[in-house]
A and B are shown apart, each in its own frame.
Chain A
Amino acid sequence: MDWAGGGLPAFGASGPGAGGLPLMAVQAAARHPPRAAVLGALTAPLDGVLGPLAHGPGRGAAGEAAYYVICPAPAGPPLGAPVRAWTEAALLGQVLRPVATALEQLDSLGVTHRAIRLDNVFHVPGQPVEIGAAWAAPPGLRQPALFEPPYSAMCIPSGRGNGTIADDVYALGVLLVVLALGRLPLDGQSDAAVIRRKLAVGSFAALVGDERLPPLIADLVRGMLAEDPEHRPHPSLLLSPVTVRTRRLAARPAQRAQRPLVIGETEAWDARTLAYALAAEPDPGGQALHGGAVVHWLRRGLGDSTLAARVEDAVRHRQAGADDGQRSSAAAAAAMRAIALLDPLAPLVWRSTALWPDGLGTALADAQAGDQAVIGALTEMTNLEAAGSWESVRPERSDAGTLRSAARAQRAWLLGHNAGGLARLTYSLNPLLPCASPLLAGCWVAGLADLPAALEAASWKVDRKNVAPLDGPTVDFIAARSERRLDVQDAADAREAGAGTQFGAAHLRLLVHLQARHHAAPLPGLAAWVAAQSDPMIGGWESRSRRAAIAGHLLEIAQTGYLAPMLSVIEDPRGRIDDSAAAQRAAAEMAGIEAELAEIASGGPARADAAIRFGQEIAAGIGLTALAAVLVAAALG
C-alpha cells in the first residue's frame, strides 16, 4: 500500500490496541530520519490526521535497517488519483475545515505537518479529507515546489526545516487552488521555473493566473498564499471563512525597476528576484555583487539608495581584513548577508545551498550519502556560525539570539576538543539518525539503549580477531548521544586512541559504560569479541607471563558476559605499578648482565695479567712450602 505513505514505502500493519482500526507502517530511510520531536509531541490521536501511534526500528523488505512509524491507514485513496474539480461547498466542508482543524490541533502542540500535497491527502467521497502521515521523513522533503512557499521550495529538500504552521496553510491554499481548478497549475514546469514565477508575480497570481475561482475560495486562497508567512491566516481563522474574507493583509507591492539586472540566466526586476538570482547563480551573482553592479543597479535602476547602501556596507564589511585564505568564505558570507538584506523572507543561502537553519541537521544527514559540495557548504557555514550572522541581518524575523546561540553550539560540536566532528554534529542534530557503522548494517540503532544489543548481535557475525567492536562512526555516535560529559570525554579518548584501527582501554571503557547504563543483561558475544581484541590493551603490561595470565583471565570473564570486570583486570592500577617496578628491576638487571658479559668478552688481557701474577705467587708459594718442609724435616731429624 505504497500509495498510502505519501511517497514513502508503507505496509499494512496490525497490533494490540488498534481496536480493529486498519493500520499501516510507513518506512523511513536511513539518510532521512523520522521527525523525533514531532513523534514525541504527538502522543494522542488527532482528528483529520493520520497521526503516529507508535514507532520503532525494524527490518526492511530486503533485510536492510529500517524504521517504521505506525499510523492509521487512510480510509480512501489520495486526492491526486486523479485530480478533479471540486465545488466550493465541498472544498469548504470536506477540505478546508477538516484540514484547518487538524492544523490547529498540530499548531497547539507546536508541530507542523509539512506534507500537505495531493498524494498525501486522502478522501472518501462525501467524507472530510484526512491528511496523511508526515512523520517518517524530514519536513517538506517530498513536497513539490508547487505546494511549498517559494522561500521553502528554493531550499535543498532536506534542509527545509520544520517551518511554521503558516507553511502548512500555504500548502492547504495550493491544495484548494488545485482542487478548485481541477488540474495542476504550472504543470510541466521545472521547480526553478515555478519558484521564479512565484517570486516574480506572487504565489496567488502565479497559480491562479487568469483562471476564475469561486469568490470565497479566491479570497481565502489569496491570503493563504501570501509570500510573508505573517500575512497568512492562522488555521483557527480558516474555520470561519467569512471572517478571513474580511481580513485582508495586503503586502506592499515590490518596487520594480525599469530595466532588469541580468545575473547568469536570471533577470532580476526587483529586490526579491535579485535575491533569488544571487542565490540561484552564485558565480555570476558573486561577480555582480563584488564588482558593484548590484549596488549600482539598486541605486540607479531600482532607486533604493538605502538598500543599496546597506548591501554595499555588507559587502565591504565582510571583505575588509580578509586574507587570501579567508577571501572565499568572506565572499560567501557577504553574499549571504546581501541576500538576507535584499529579501528578509529568503532562507539562509551559502554558496548556492539554501536552507532554513533548523533544517541543518536533516540536510547534513541527507548529504552524508555523498553530496560533498553540500557537505562542504554546510560545514563551512557551521564553522563560521553563519546562522548567527544571518539572524543579525534580519532581527525582526528571528527570536533574539536563538539562532546565534544554536550556531555557537553547533560549531562547538563540529570543532570541539571533546570528540567534535561532522559526524557528531549530524548525530546531535538528528536524534533518530541511525549509527552509520558498517558493523551495525541491518540494525537501526538510533539510541544508546539499542547499541549494546546491536553490538552483541554483530559480535556473532564478524571476524572477532580482525574487526574492532567500536569503529569511528560508533564512537562519534556515542559521543553525540551521550548526555554525561565523562562519556563524551571517553569517546574523545577513544577517537584519539585511533578509533577503527586498534581497540584500546578507552574503547572498552565506553562499552562498559554502555552496558552499565543501558543493558543490564550479559553480553557474552561482545565480551568474547573484546577478549579477542584485547592484545593491544594487554600489551601495556610488561611481564609476558602476566600478559598470558590476563589473557586467560579475560577469556574466563568473557564467558560471564560482563565487561566491567574485564576492564578492571586490564586496568588494575596496583598490578600495573608492581608490573612496572618489576620491569624496571629486570631492565636494570639485564643491563648489568650485558655489561658483565661485555666485560668478560673483553677481559682477556686482564685475565692474562692476573694469571701471571697468581701463577708467580703460586710458584713462590710452592718453593717456600718445599723449603719449609725440608727445614721441618731436618729439624725433626
Chain B
Amino acid sequence: MGKRSREPRRAAAPAGRQHSLAWLQGLVVGALVTLATADALLLAALLAPAIVAFVIDRAPGRPVARSVALCGMAACVGPELALWGSGHDLATATGLLADLWTVGVAWTACAAGWLVAELAPVAMRAVLDALGLARAARLRARLARLAEEWGPPGQ
C-alpha cells in the first residue's frame, strides 16, 4: 500500500514543476508588462506569430514554435534597439509598430523560422534515405563477393 501511494506522488512531481514554471513565466511576463510596457507591447506585436505558434504547436518541446520564436527574436533586436535609443516609451513603440517594414521583417523572420522547421525534417529524411541506400549497395556488393568466394562448388 505504501509503494502504491508513493507512485502517484512521484508522477505528479513534473506536472507540479511545470505548473510552477508556468506560474513563474506568467510572473515574468506580468512584471515585464508592468515594468516595461513599451517593450512588452513591441515584442508582443512583433512576435505575435511566435505566440500563435506556441499556442498551436502541441509537439513535445514545441519545436516549430521554438524555431519561429528564435527567428522572430532575431528580427526584434533592431526594433528593440531603436525603442531603447528613442526614449523607450509607449509612443515610440507604437510608432515603430506603425512602420509596416518593421512588422513585416519580424513576421517574415517568423515565417522563415516556420519554413525552416517544416523543411528541415524533410531534407533530413532525404539525406538519411540516400545514406541508407548507399550503405545497402556497398553491403550487397560485399555479400556478392563473399558468396562468390565461399559459395558451394559448382555454383
Give the interface of A toward B (CB within 8 A): 535, 538-539, 542-545, 547, 583, 586-587, 589-590, 593-594, 596-597, 600-601, 603, 607-608, 610-612, 614-616, 618-620, 622-624, 626-627, 629-631, 634
Contacts and interface: CB of A to CB of B under 8 A. Distances in A.
B42 to A, nearest CB: 15
Interface residues of B, number: 44
A622 B69 CA distance: 12
A623 B113 contact: yes
B101 interface: no
Contacts of A614: 120-121, 124, 128
A597 B147 CA distance: 15
Given A544-B151, A618-B124, A597 B139 contact: yes
A583 B146 CA distance: 10
A590 B144 CA distance: 9
A622 B67 contact: yes
Contacts of A543: 149-150
B149 A616 contact: no
Contacts of B136: 597, 600-601
A620 B128 CA distance: 19
B123 interface: yes
A630 B77 contact: yes
Interface in B18-58: none
B69 to A, nearest CB: 7
* Most chain B C-beta atoms within 10 Å of own C-beta, residue among A596, A622, A624: A622
Contacts of B135: 596, 600
* Most chain B C-beta atoms within 10 Å of own C-beta, residue among A539, A597, A601, A623: A623
Question: Ordered nearest first, which 9 A-B pairs have the shortest CB separation?
Answer: A623-B70, A615-B121, A615-B120, A611-B125, A616-B63, A611-B124, A619-B117, A619-B67, A626-B74
Given A608-B125, A630-B77, A623 B149 contact: no
Given A612-B121, A619-B63, A630-B74, A590 B129 contact: no
Contacts of B70: 620, 623-624, 626-627
A544 B124 contact: no
Nearest to B132: A600
Interface in B124-155: 124-125, 127-129, 132, 135-136, 139-140, 142-143, 146-153
11 contacts: A597-B143, A611-B128, A612-B121, A612-B125, A614-B120, A615-B117, A619-B113, A622-B67, A623-B71, A626-B71, A627-B70
Contact of A615 (B73, B122, B153): B122
B74 A623 contact: yes
Contacts of B88: none
A616 B70 CA distance: 13
A376 to B, nearest CB: 42
A538 B152 CA distance: 11
Interface string B82-118: 0000000000000000000000000001000100110
Contacts of B73: 623, 627
A542 B67 contact: no
Given A597-B136, A619-B120, A626-B71, A586 B150 contact: yes
